[in-house]
A and B are shown apart, each in its own frame.
Chain A
Amino acid sequence: MKKILLVDDSETILLLESKILKRSQWTLITARNGKEAIAKAMSERPDLILMDVVMPEMGGFEACRQLRSLEPTRSIPIILVTTRGEVEHLAAGYASGCTDYLTKPIQAPEVLAKIECYLGG
């Protein structure tokens, strides 16, 4: 079964994402900041990472950069979940190595379509 790592400092967003993805065949794991995301990605080897941008401890851009520099996590697709006002900063996001992005408020069909596109259903 494919595994998805959800990363956000808000438990509400994590809950929302898991509700959207609950009917899928994917296993869900979570992390609350960039540092925790890197640790989970190294130990759990998820097939895809859905990650917030602004978080305490370590933000999404930096986590992305570090995940790309580590051999075991180098090729995991990373979708950044951005908030209004962050779009101008997407270039910086892509520069950090993210694969794609979604904007809050996230919509279930869009989230599912994007994930399926990277995981192949």
Chain B
Amino acid sequence: MEESDFRQVFESFLRESEEQLSPLEAAVLAIDEHRQDHEPLATVFRLVHSLKGTAASVGQEHIAGFTHGLEDLVERLHERRLAVDDRVVSRLFEAVDALREMLADAARGLSALRPEHARLREALDLLVGEAEPLTGLSSLLMEAASETPATPAAHPSVQDAVQDAPPRSGARTLRVQVEKLDRIIDMMGELAIARGRLGALFARGPSAWQAAVEAHEQTERLFMDLQEQIASARMVPVGPLLRTYARTVRDTARALGKAARLVVEGGEVEMDTAVLERLHEPLTHLIRNAVDHGLETPEGRRDAGKPPYGRVLIAARREGSTVVLEVSDDGAGLPSERILARAAERGLKTGDQDPRADAARLIFEPGLSTAPVVTELSGRGIGMDVIRRGIEALRGSVTIDSRGGQGTTFTLRLPLTLATIEGFVVGAGGETYVVPLEAIIELLELPAEAQDRPGGGESGPVHGILSLRGEPLPYVRLRSFFGSGGAARARESVVVVDGGGRRVGMVVDELLGTQPVVIKPLAQSLQRWLAASQALSVSTILDDGRAVLVLDVPGLIREVLEHGTPARPRP
């Protein structure tokens, strides 16, 4: 076989094997939770057996050997020659982790077992040695070589994960149903015909203009449909990814001497695969925090009259063009007093409002960890501020609600897709900006007292407070905030925006209306310049072809309310 052919086969092996790891992990979890069941063992056997065959076929003999040992163990568990206990389950999880590392090594061209993997292989062999010997043919193999096991749907979690596990970050591939692609191709065909017709009508000159306008409208409709179809091809159900956190919950709880399980609700809700991939890290931290800081020890729970097993719930639901993910625990709730004391020590502003709300806000401040002991798991220097930034980078928001003794809920609001948003276009100081429509609460005219000083051509203050139906509303004058200057206007408008439950009025010169905008990442040079400001995130191209910046509403609100400093002036 030629070198390029082999390379292609090898890459396919890496991709395919990596994709098998999530269902494999889900099946090991199912073994842990249903220790008497046959089905998850059969699933692990089939996945491991398949991995063994492909690894051997691409010359990865060390992986084939390792999986062979794993398969031996699974067979003995299945034949009840060895009981599924904590020790066995831990080894199985370690084996999944080791396989993940082996694949990463293989991708880097390393094809030998690391010493720790060799030791794990020996540990697996020792377990096999403890089991009573097998006699006769392998029933698992015979079963897998014959018909489907009789109870295929016993574990929906395993089944789902096997069928539609999304690739983890790094593997930039996506499985799309052929029907969806077929529909896209059909529409492309219709669009091509409509385009041809439009061209022909234009060629006929002014007499055909009316018909051309109609043909153009039809083309437009087709184009919108096509856009929708393509966007839908990127949508995947959140369940398979969310269920993989069962492992995170289990491992974190075990390491801390706690007991906890994960419950996933709304797994069928779909979202853009790109958003989902990038949620992995913030979610992992949130879940570790929930187990580490949220849940009590089994004794603590018993004293509080709760069942010893703590519960971490991830509930997904769709609200318009937003996906809401709630991560909640039934633990002790936020230690408000400790957070406020710690914040005071660090000289952070503490409001005089409800201390619970204050604590919930302060927990997102950098470096404010109140865990009595910094644990190995969540005390890795990853604070809530990093989680919040991760979510906001996805144009999402995170809020927190906590009740003493009853638990804490983090509510994540995320856009369905990163590719397009409904935008509201505004003008300020001769510049044009796009505000995500979902962040806008209302539009109003700037009251006279906050207007620019008349006649002087001088801008009003950058910041201030205006009264909105008797309530104070902090405002920021975008023209001055971004230092774009320009002459003062006789009339200014206020765009009231909400980010993470906090509101700010943005004073702008012009309201230019809504339009769907396609989000484009910023050029690198711009990114460097903008790094100083949290208020601008990405760019887009407007209908008239101009490139403009999209405001990052939560970032802007933070800059205005917490730091009060305007962004750097334009170069």
List chain A positions with a Cβ less than 8 A from chain B: 9-13, 15-16, 19-20, 22, 52-62, 83-86, 88-89, 92-93, 104-106, 108
Contact = CB atoms under 8 A, between A and B. Distances in A.
Contact of B56 (A15, A60, A84): A84
B56 A59 contact: no
Given A62-B146, A83-B52, A104-B56, 10 more contacts: A12-B57, A19-B1, A53-B141, A54-B49, A56-B148, A56-B162, A57-B148, A60-B145, A61-B142, A85-B68
Nearest to B45: A54
18 contacts: A12-B13, A19-B6, A54-B50, A54-B144, A54-B145, A55-B144, A58-B146, A58-B148, A59-B143, A59-B146, A83-B53, A85-B49, A85-B68, A86-B145, A89-B138, A92-B137, A105-B56, A105-B59
Contacts of A86: 141, 145
Nearest to A61: B145
Contacts of A9: 50
A97 B145 CA distance: 13
Given A19-B1, A58-B148, A83-B52, A89 B142 contact: yes
Contacts of B6: 19
Nearest to A52: B53
A104 B6 CA distance: 16
A62 B145 contact: yes
A22 B5 CA distance: 10
Interface of B: 1, 5-6, 8-9, 12-13, 16, 46, 49-50, 52-54, 56-59, 64, 68, 71, 137-138, 141-148, 162
B279 to A, nearest CB: 27
A20 B6 CA distance: 10
Contacts of A53: 141, 144-145
The 4 closest A-B pairs by CB, nearest first: A59-B145, A83-B53, A61-B145, A54-B144
B8 to A, nearest CB: 7
A84 B142 CA distance: 14
Contacts of A61: 142, 145-146
A84 B138 CA distance: 13
A12 B58 contact: yes
A86 B148 CA distance: 18
Nearest to B5: A19
B141 A16 contact: no
B64 to A, nearest CB: 7
B173 to A, nearest CB: 11
Nearest to A55: B144
Given A12-B9, A56-B46, A89 B54 contact: no
B36 to A, nearest CB: 23
A61 B137 CA distance: 14
> Which of A9, A11, A105 counts the most chain B CB atoms within 10 A?
A105
A12 B145 contact: no
Contacts of B16: 10-12
A116 B97 CA distance: 43
B148 A16 contact: no
A84 B145 contact: no
A13 B1 contact: no
Contact of A62 (B9, B64, B71, B147): B147
B13 A54 contact: no
A104 B51 CA distance: 12
Given A12-B13, A19-B5, A104 B53 contact: yes
Main secondary structure of the interface of B (DSSP, over half): helix
Nearest to B19: A11
A11 B12 contact: yes
> Which of B9, B12, B52, B71 counts the most chain A CB atoms within 10 A?
B9
Given A89-B142, A89-B145, A13 B5 contact: no
A89 B46 CA distance: 16
B19 to A, nearest CB: 10
A92 to B, nearest CB: 6
Contacts of A83: 49, 52-53, 56
A93 B142 CA distance: 10
Nearest to B56: A105
A12 B12 contact: yes
Contacts of B71: 85
Contact of A85 (B8, B9, B141): B141
Contacts of A54: 46, 49-50, 53, 141, 144-145
A21 to B, nearest CB: 11
A80 B444 CA distance: 74
B147 to A, nearest CB: 5
B12 A15 contact: yes
A53 to B, nearest CB: 5
A93 B137 CA distance: 12
Contacts of A11: 12, 16
B54 A10 contact: yes
B311 to A, nearest CB: 33
B57 A88 contact: no
A83 B59 CA distance: 14
> Which of B6, B12, B64, B141 counts the most chain A CB atoms within 10 A?
B141
B113 to A, nearest CB: 17
Nearest to A66: B147
A16 B137 contact: no
Contacts of B59: 105
Nearest to A62: B146
> Which of A54, A61, A88 counts the most chain B CB atoms within 10 A?
A54
Contacts of B57: 12-13, 16, 104-106
B48 to A, nearest CB: 10
Contacts of B54: 10, 12-13
Contacts of B142: 61, 89, 92
A57 B145 CA distance: 10
Contacts of A20: 1
A59 B64 contact: no
A13 B53 contact: yes
A40 B236 CA distance: 30
Nearest to B149: A56
B137 A15 contact: no
A89 B50 contact: no
A85 B49 CA distance: 9
Nearest to A58: B147
A104 B54 CA distance: 8
